[in-house]
Structure 1
Amino acid sequence: MASMLVAASVLASELALPPAAHAEAPVQAEVVYTADLAQPIRGGADRKLRYLDNLDLVADADLDALVGWHGARAHGYVLVNNGAHPNTAAGSLEGVNNIEVGKAGVRLFEAWAEQDIGSRGALLVGLYDLNSEFYALDSAELLLGPPFGIGTELAATGRNGPSIFPSSALAVRANLRLGAGESYVRVAAFNAHAATLGDPGGVDVGFHDGLLLIGEAGLGRPHARLSLGLWTYTRAREAYYSDPADPDPQRRHARGAYVQGEFQLPGAGESAFQAFVRAGFSRGGTTPFAWSASAGLFRAPVLAARPGSSASLGVHYAGTSQSFRQEVRALGQSPASSEYTLEATYSDRLADWHTVQPDLQLVCQPGGLRGAPAALIGTVRLTLTLP
C-alpha cells in the first residue's frame, strides 16, 4: 500500500501541468486518486485498520469547439473503487465514509450530453449523478460522512439506491436560470433502478421499476443560497417491514421533500465561516429512515500561513422509520428513534496536487439501536490530483 501511494505521488509530480496549459483545450481531463486509512478508536466491532481507495477519471468536452455542435457539451466519469469497509466496524446505518462501496470494481458513473436552450435553459440526457446538482451543499463537501452529501432519507431509497455514488441511472434533466443571479428551477426524471456499466447486468434500459422524479428550486445571492426540493417514485415498493404472517406484503410509494441553505457568517474576507443547515423527510416506509437533518460550519483558509488549509464541523441526525423500529422489535432488540453523528475534519493542501485530511467521527446510537455503545472512527485521507 505504501509503495502504491509513493508511486502515485511521484507520478503526479512528474505529470501535473499548470492549469493554464489546458485552459483552451476543447477536452478537459482530470484524474483524482483518494486513499483512506480508517480505524475505530473507541467502540465499534473491532480495532482493525482499514484501507480503501477511489480513483476518479473525468473528462469534459466542449462539443462546439470539438465538432461544431453549438451550445453543447459532453461529460464522462469513470470510478474505480477498492478496499475494506470501515462501516462494518462502526455499525452505522448511514455510513461513515463517502468513498466506501458495497462491491469493489470499475463503473461508468456518468456519461451525458447537455444542450443549451436559449440563454438561460439547458437540457441534459444520459447517465447522470442526481447528487451533482440536487440536494447538494458546497459548504458541506469537505466532510467524509455520506449524509453530508445527500440526505439519508432519499439516499436509502430505490432497489440499489437512487442515481448517486457509486451507481448512476439513465436520466433527463432540465435546468432554468432565473434572473441575473444564481437562482434556478431544476427538474429531472431518473430510472428508479440505478445500475450502470460495471454493475451486474449493466445499464438498466427496461425501466421496470418506474421513475424517480425530482425537482428543486433555489434562490441564490452572493453570500447565501436557499433551496427546496420535492421527489417521488412512480411505482410502489415493498414496505421495509411486513408482518411475516401477512401473505400479501404491503407496497408503498416513497416520496419526500427537503429544504437546505448555506450562507456566509459575518467576518472579514474570503476566510469567513460558511454555515449550512438541511432537513428532509420521506413517506412510504420503504427504508429505515423517516427524516434527516444536518448542520455545520466550514472555513478556508483556516491558517493565514497555510492558504490551502480548510476545516469543517458537522452534525447530522437520522430519524428511524416506524417500519425499521417494527423490524428491530421483531428481532428482539430495542430500537432508537434516531442515529446521530458528530464530525470534525481538517484538510491541508501540501502541494497543488497533494492534500492530506485527518478526520474524526463520533457515531451515537449506531445501527439505530437503543443503548448501543458510541463508536469513534478516525480517518486519514490522502488525495492526489492530476489537472
Structure 2
Amino acid sequence: MHAPPCARKSGAAHAAALGGIAALALIGAPARADAPVALSATYTADIGATLSGGADHRARYLDNLDITADTDLDTLLDWQGARAHVHVLNNMGKRPNDGAGTLQGVDNIEVGKAAPRLYEAWIEQDIGKASLRAGLYDLNSEFYASDTAGLLIAPPFGIGSELAAAGPNGPSIFPSTALSLRLRAPIGEDAGYVEAAAINAHASTLGDHGGVDFSFDDGLLLIGEAGHALGPARLSGGVWAYTRKRDSYFAIGPAGDPVRHRSWGAYAGLEAPLATWGERRLDGFARAGFSDGHTTPYAYGVQAGVLLAPALGARPDSAFSLGTHFARANREFRRSVRCDGHRAAGGEFAIEATYADKLTEFVTLQPDVQIIGHPSAIRGVPVAVVGTLRVTIAFATGA
C-alpha cells in the first residue's frame, strides 16, 4: 500500500530543520547541575534504495528529528508523584517504499506527509504503586513493544501490522498520536505488570490537518496488556478493540455500502536471553498477533529475531540483529488483489539483517539490508532487496 505523493519541503519545514540543529547544539552544551528538565535530541538520517526488484532503484533520503523534554513536577512545582513529558518530531525527505512497493513498508521513519508535529505531551501521576498517564501518547511506547527488536528498522518490528493498520487512520503511533488515558500497575515485586488504555480512535495531533482531535466522533481504541517475568525471560500479551464498527476492507453489502465489522485483535510476545560469551549476549524475541480479519489488510502477523550485543568483542558499542516477519493477507485483501488482475499470495514475508556501531560518543552508523518476498502479497512479483544506511546523532542532558 503506497502513501500519497511527497510534498515539496516548505519554508516552514526548512525552518523546523534549522531549529532542530540549533536544539542539538543547545542540548550538547554542558548542563547545569540544578536543571529542572531533562532534554534529549536525536537526529536520524537514512539513505535507502531498492537494489533488486521493486519499481525503481533510485536512492532516497529521509530523516527524523526527535526533541524531548522530561520534567519531575515534584521538583519543579512541588507536585508530588507527577511527571511531564513533551516530544516534538520533524520528518522530511522521500519514501523508500515507493521504490520497494511492499505492503508493510521498509523504513520506520518513513511518513506519508513530511511535517513537524507535537508527537507526545502527557502528564503522569503516581497512584500508590500504579501510575495514570493522560495526554497525547504513543501506545507503542508501552504496548506491543519489544526491546530486543529495537535495532531493526522494518515497521513490523515496532508494532504488529494487523494493529498498525487498524482504525480510521491507524492507532496512536508514529507519526500521529491521539488523546489517551493509560493506567499501569506492577504485579508482585515488579515481576510483572498490567496496563490498560482508552485512546481516541482518530489519531491527529498538532502538525496534522485539523490539529488535535477533541471530537472523539470515531469512538475509542481500548487496549489492555499484561506481562510477567519467567526467570530471565519476559512473556506479555494483550487484546484491543475499537468501540465503533469499522468498514470492511473490501466486502460490499447489497446496497453497495461497505460491510461494517467489529475491529479487534490480540497479540503475545516472548523475549529471552539465549546465550552469553563473557560480555557478549545473544537475546531472542518472538511475537504473534491477529485481527478480526475484515477491517485491516492482515489476518495475522508474526515476527522473530535475535540481537547480539556487543557484536564484536573489541567494539563495546556494536550490535547485530537478524529478524524475520510475515503478514498473512486476509481473504478480502487477497480478493482485491485478484480483482486488480494479479495472482494473490498468502502474504508478505521478509528477512532483515542490520549492524550498528558508534563512531563517536554522539554518532552511530548502521547499514541494513532487507529481502522481501511476495511484495504487496502478489505472486510473480520479483523479490525486493532493499539497502539502507542509517546515521544517528544523539545528545542528552539530565535534570
The normalised TM-score by structure 2 is 0.91
Q: Which residue of 1 aligns with 2:69?
A: 59
SS at match of 2:163: helix
Q: Which residue of 1 aligns with 2:114?
A: 104
Q: Which residue of 2 aligns with 1:142?
A: 151
CA change 1:210–1:270 in 2 (3 A) is: farther
Q: Which residue of 1 aligns with 2:42?
A: 32
Q: Which residue of 2 aligns with 1:374?
A: 383
CA change 1:15–1:154 in 2 (3 A) is: closer
CA change 1:23–1:380 in 2 (3 A) is: farther
Q: Which residue of 2 aligns with 1:168?
A: 177
Aligned residue among 101, 126, 144 for 1:116: 126
Give the superposition deviation at 1:220: 2.3
Residues 181 and 221 of structure 1 are in contact (CA less than 8 Å); yes or no, is this contact kept in structure 2? no
SS at match of 2:277: coil
The normalised TM-score by structure 1 is 0.94
SS at match of 1:241: strand
- Which sits farther off after the overlay, 107-116 or 326-335? 326-335
Aligned residue among 172, 195, 198 for 2:207: 198
Q: Which residue of 1 aligns with 2:4?
A: none
CA change 1:162–1:11 in 2 (3 A) is: closer
1:199-248 CA-to-partner distances (Å, cap 9, x unmatched) read 01111111111110000000025621100100001101110003487423
Give the superposition deviation at 1:371: 1.4
Distance 1:54 1:331 in 2: 35
Distance 1:10 1:176 in 2: 39
Q: Which residue of 2 aligns with 1:344?
A: 353
- Which sits farther off after the overlay, 129-138 or 212-221? 212-221
Q: Which residue of 1 aligns with 2:54?
A: 44
Aligned residue among 284, 288, 300 for 1:291: 300
Displaced runs of 4+ in structure 1, greater than 3 A? 8-15, 21-25, 243-246
1:103-140 CA-to-partner distances (Å, cap 9, x unmatched) read 0001111000000001x200000000000000000000
CA change 1:293–1:59 in 2 (3 A) is: same
Q: Which residue of 1 aligns with 2:227?
A: 218
Distance 1:153 1:175 in 2: 24
SS at match of 1:272: strand
Structure 2: unaligned runs, 5 residues or longer: 1-16
- Give the superposed CA RMSD: 2.0
Distance 2:188 2:277 in 1: 28
Provide the aligned length of Structure 1 versus Structure 2. 379
Structure 1: unaligned runs, 5 residues or longer: none
Q: Which residue of 2 aligns with 1:16?
A: 28
Amino acid at match of 1:87: N
Identity of aligned residues (%): 53
Give the superposition deviation at 1:47: 1.0
Residues 178 and 199 of structure 2 are in contact (CA less than 8 Å); yes or no, is this contact kept in structure 1? yes
Q: Which residue of 2 aligns with 1:240?
A: 249
Distance 2:368 2:197 in 1: 34
